[in-house]
Structure 1
């Protein structure tokens, strides 16, 4: 209800606002600081693993690049979204594109590119058209745009966890981390959809403690546990994986990443090119309404 920045801020104003208390300040820092944490973890892995020559590590390389990318892109989107109505849309197009690439980066099975493209296309459509024309329905559809790719990517993990519950495998540290990751993923979705706690006390959580800030924190903590699970699985299951399947190839890992980036940029470019034709009055009115 308060704390909004001016909708025509300059780039410098946007940067300076990250050091002032607005309703976006914590959103910016809860993703900017974790970017450096994931970069630090990535640098440690670079010193211990041969990402250049060992193809077994290439899926991990893709994953680490993207868990560094998505919080940084989100932080930039929250920082610069008030430069103009068009800038706001473009910022979040890139934010959704990075999230879609993150779903690709999990590389849990052979069709992640479908999830990636579904996510970024649907998010851009919802943000560009549905949110402007049908603001009361857009929240449900935007939540579905997060949930559907997550479920699509996670079915193998659900199967693995259920198999262990039925006694087909023994508990491990990786499964514990996977369980924590799913728990925080659920919290992330719940907070995004519910608008709690600010729904219960309007105005009291404008600056600190509103649902989007908590959603950011849960998302990052969930990614941390996911990363720990991936690293544990990679080490403990290497012998089994290398004996039961071929080593990852460049086209199936880094090649898919490059393809995903190019297709995402193309989709973002198409929707961004259409922004000048968006009615200025409705766009500005919606921005003021938020």
Structure 2
């Protein structure tokens, strides 16, 4: 049966020009910023295109309509498919060709699995944030933040494993410390006020701290390997710096709400800061995956020096 559509009064605005009305299912309506519930009010510069007051069935149905969440949803849904495909390719081609050990298979699987979980948690939140129940919406928000923590976990596990590949003691120290920090973040999310607007800045500080913690083992790793002049440092350190640079740029877009801050109402559907954040997150995780594969191949081509085994 052909789905009946309603020609809504919502237009796409790009560059100050109005384009054709958005075609949405008759049982789904798009709202303005003033019309949505308070718990959805996060960015006043996105003035239109909101889904709200929907049951779960219609939240799923809204996956196929154009709203201000469409790019957010599909960017990470496609990101999930990307990391799933990379996982299959690594298992059947990249790792066997590199002579990978069982540990290599486990680390690469954990890394990509964490990235996939992050993508799916993000998709779930942006798909179901419009649920008519604030409690349900908050639960999906908690899963979204948990997904970010899991992605950070994937980066740390793979990075620490190969950075301290020849230093078993420090590898265990940093892995345990990192796991403790991630668990602390999970427990913080249980608190009822953690996901409120009042704690928005606190959440940003916590995630910046957890992400920035990686600088400590990185500096230590550089020292253990003889400083910035060492060949492995010159091979791998720039890749770590690029990852942090991408993460910093993405976070600046996220907190500044640029460019829609300067073009309120004109970037409701395409080009907003959160969409840029989503795309850069996929780019950053893809870059890290490629870096992990690179350092894994490097470790197999050059054995550990005897003096560094228990440093």
With the shorter chain as reference, the TM-score category is 0.7 to 0.9
Match of 2:43 in 1: none
Q: TM-score, normalised by structure 1?
A: 0.73
Partners of 1:242 and 1:11 in 2: CA distance: 57
Partners of 1:162 and 1:198 in 2: CA distance: 43
1:129 equivalenced with 2:167 (yes/no):
no
The structure-2 alpha-carbon separation of the partners of 1:28 and 1:241, relative to structure 1 and needing over 3 Å to count, comes to: farther
Match of 1:220 in 2: 282
Match of 2:61 in 1: 16
Q: CA deviation at 1:121?
A: 3.0
Check the 8 A contact 1:174/1:228 in 2, yes or no.
no
Partners of 1:19 and 1:163 in 2: CA distance: 52
Partners of 1:19 and 1:237 in 2: CA distance: 45
Match of 1:89 in 2: 138
Check the 8 A contact 1:118/1:149 in 2, yes or no.
no
1:180 equivalenced with 2:242 (yes/no):
yes
1:65 equivalenced with 2:113 (yes/no):
yes
1:150 equivalenced with 2:214 (yes/no):
no
Give matches, 1:237-256, under 5 Å.
237-238=299-300, 239-241=302-304, 244-245=308-309
Partners of 2:190 and 2:273 in 1: CA distance: 22
How many correspondences in the alignment?
240
- SS of the equivalent of 2:51 reads coil
1:116 equivalenced with 2:116 (yes/no):
no
Greater share of strand: 2
Check the 8 A contact 2:228/2:234 in 1, yes or no.
no
Greater share of helix: 1
- SS of the equivalent of 2:193 reads helix
Check the 8 A contact 2:250/2:281 in 1, yes or no.
yes
Look at both structures and tell me which one has the larger radius of gyration over its CA atoms. Answer: 2
